[in-house]
Amino acid sequence: MKKILLGTTALVGAVLVSQAALADAPKVTVGGSSEFEAGLLSGDDQSGGQVNATPNNGQSNRAFYTRNEVSLKVDGKSDAGLGYGSEIWLQADTSGDQNGRGVNATRTFVYLDGMWGRVEMGSNYGADDTLKVDAGTIARATGGIDGDWRFFANNRLGNPFIATSDLPINYGATGTGLSGAGTFGGGTPNGFGNQSTENINKVTYYTPKWYGLQAGLSYAPNDSNRGQTLGRTDHGAPITVGGATGGVAASTISSAHDIWQGGIGYNGQWNQVGFGLSATGEHGQADATSYHDLNAWALGAKASYLGFSAAGSYGDWGKSLRTGTSVSTNRFWTLGGAYEYGPYGLSVTYLGSKYDNAIASTDKFRNIVVGADYKLAPGLTPYAEVAFYNEDGQGTGHGVDNSGQLFLLGTQLNF
Amino acid sequence: MGRYFGTALSFCSIHPIIGTMHPTRLLVLSSCLLALLAACSENSGVSEPGKPQDIKDVRRESRGSLVGDGGFGVMGGAVKDDETAKSPIGVNGFLWRATLDTLSFMPINQADPFGGTVLTDWYEDPKAPGERYKVNAIILDKTLRADGIRVSVFKQKLDGTAWRDLPVDDHLARKLEDSILTRARHLRIAQLGH
């Protein structure tokens, strides 16, 4: 035994030479994207009539939209093999971010990673956002039900709806994501989820991927703590969401602190069939007294085979940050299918939701989005998208509907 | 954390079937499920750092980039021109020198810088007579890549007056490859002046 061990010593000794230093030279990378979209809406305007029904005396039915981001990424590795770096996504448009996520940048964070996992610290997405699976995961063009239709559509009712497949913090529920009437052409998707609290300051830990399985957990001290703004209110007044319609009181929702966002995701392959699963959740303490804490969850799944894919999800906001006993029906579900062939892609995605309003009735929302895109050249992708959405108010003073059809044509350039 | 957090994960505890299962059976079922997940995993069981991305980033990256994946580098990091051979030999210069450095304790039988092959002669450690080793190293590419070197190790044991071939653990060849790659990286860093 000793001779065998000694016999390998010389060879083993060779492999022990120069094992210490693994450092890589840090690198700085610049990238980003530039998008242009043209939107044409057929549907209700803010006052109940049709958009563009009265030329020069009402809302126009068409607008152009741009979105430009510049990313700065710094990546390095220490002698001990610790990865570290930073990402800064600069907002580069001639107006402020219509998602309400920041003035100069949409994401800024520092990271550390290694075989033990990854930690991200800064103004960034939460783990329940990055690990979730739903119909939007397979959507083409601008993202289907989670895409850019929100910037063009009208939330005529001013009621709060769950209009995208997000949990409350990612939806912007405690910011302005649920409140007010979205204005066509103005671009601010109030009431349709403007993701205004999606990038609050947080610390996130992701486990390593193990057999396709990965978990993540984020902690944010306060939903108004973003960038250099150190919002620390933990007993604030509730936020009014929605508009008072027909004399009916608007809904209220509490802001939150000590927010946890987590998820588990799995991606696997069996023969030629790919599939993914996710379970995500949010928990936090309500700021206002007598309001329920933030407790929301969602489950999602997707499958793919030879270019075809299908996905769906179910999410429940429960009584998150609401008050009263008749506010428990706040949920959404998604379903979608897509097909990809070479540079071409096509998808159909659907979202349905229910949201209890202030008068113990349940407002309903539906949206079907058909999208297609084509990789014309590396980094250049033109696309088209059509959204058919419907707001269905329920109860006294809320019994009005709004439906709209939006046609989008655009192109994205990545660099 | 609130009692509602992870309700989806606590579903099993209240499901009418799973909730009544014996703990041992539940453990066996969980193990089988994990084994099934492992068999279906796209990563073949290799633990690695993960960088989850929002679907918007995934969609953006899937559409490619005008200047190449990940944007364009403005400073530091890998400069691809230095990784390819500005050297006159036919394979990556860093890997070539690193291979010669790492195997220098053994007699070199053949070294072809254009074909990228280094073949050692049989080497018997004086401290362990009766066993000898031979190493073949092949450099596969002009670029410095993790899969750019392949090492094979051969082993013989003296049986009376004749040398008999013995099986060698793959682990030894992989360790030699790692050592060569590490040395090549040091040489590159030294040349780049970092």
Cβ neighbourhood burial of A209 (10 Å; 0-12, 13-18, 19+):
buried
Q: Do B88 and B171 sit in the same domain of this protein?
A: yes
Q: Do B31 and B97 sit in the same domain of this protein?
A: no
Task: Set out the domains of chain A in order of their start, with CATH numbers.
Answer: 40-65+111-414 (2.40.160)
* Residue B1 covered by a domain: no
* Residue B55 covered by a domain: no
Total count of domains within chain B: 2
Q: Do B183 and B105 sit in the same domain of this protein?
A: yes
Report the pLDDT averaged over residues B8-23.
51
* Residue B70 covered by a domain: no
ipTM score of complex: 0.84
> How far is it, in rounded angstroms, from Cα A276 to Cα A272?
13
Q: Do B144 and B93 sit in the same domain of this protein?
A: yes
Contacts of A30 in chain B (CB under 8 A): 71-72, 74
A62-77 and A24-43 beta bridge pairing: antiparallel
Q: How close B51 gets to chain A, by Cα (Å)?
A: 7
CA distances for A232 relative to A256, B9, B99, angstroms: 10, 31, 58
Q: Average the pLDDT over each of A75-89, A94-108, A230-244, A394-408 and give the range with the smallest value.
A: A230-244
* Residue B65 covered by a domain: no
* Residue B96 covered by a domain: yes
Residue A331 φ/ψ, nearest 5 degrees: -150, 165
* Residue B93 covered by a domain: yes
Q: What local confidence, expressed as pLDDT, does residue A173 receive?
A: 86
Contact A269 B70 (CB under 8 A): no
Q: Do B35 and B97 sit in the same domain of this protein?
A: no
| Residue A384 or A242, more confident | A384
Q: Do B87 and B158 sit in the same domain of this protein?
A: yes
Q: What is the pLDDT of residues A6-62, one digit of tens each?
A: 344 445 444 444 333 445 668 899 999 999 999 998 877 666 667 766 655 567 788
Q: Which of residues 1-30 of A touch B (CB under 8 A)?
A: 3-4, 6-19, 21-30
> How far is it, in rounded angstroms, from Cα A262 to Cα A131?
8
Q: What is the span of the domain harbouring residue B154?
A: 80-192
> Which of left, alpha, beta for A167 (phi over 0: left; psi -120 to 50: alpha)?
beta
Smallest CA-to-CA distance from A333 within A291, A373, A358, A301 is with: A301
Q: What is the pLDDT of residues A168-183, one digit of tens each?
A: 999 988 877 776 655 5
- Strand partners of residue A88: A72, A108
Q: How is residue A77 written in tokens? A: 């590795």
Q: Average the pLDDT over each of A139-143, A221-225, B15-19, B37-41 and give the range with the smallest value.
A: B15-19
Q: What three-state secondary structure class fits A380?
A: strand
Q: What three-state secondary structure class fits A196?
A: coil
Residue A398 φ/ψ, nearest 5 degrees: -110, 5
Give rounded-to-5 percent helix, strand, coil for chain A.
10, 50, 40
* Residue B84 covered by a domain: yes
Q: What three-state secondary structure class fits B60?
A: helix
Contacts of B67 in chain A (CB under 8 A): 31, 379, 415
Q: Do B24 and B88 sit in the same domain of this protein?
A: no
Give yes or no for residue A319 having a pLDDT over 70. Answer: yes
* Residue B173 covered by a domain: yes
- Give residue B42's pLDDT band: very low, low, confident or very high (50, 70, 90): very low
> How far is it, in rounded angstroms, from Cα A280 to Cα A295?
11
Q: What is the pLDDT of residues A208-230, one digit of tens each?
A: 998 899 999 999 999 989 889 88
Q: Do B188 and B132 sit in the same domain of this protein?
A: yes
Q: Which of residues 88-117 of B touch A (CB under 8 A)?
A: 102-103, 105
B1 to chain A, any CB pair closer than 8 A? The answer is: yes
Give yes or no for residue A246 having a pLDDT over 70. Answer: no
Q: What local confidence, expressed as pLDDT, does residue B45 receive?
A: 47
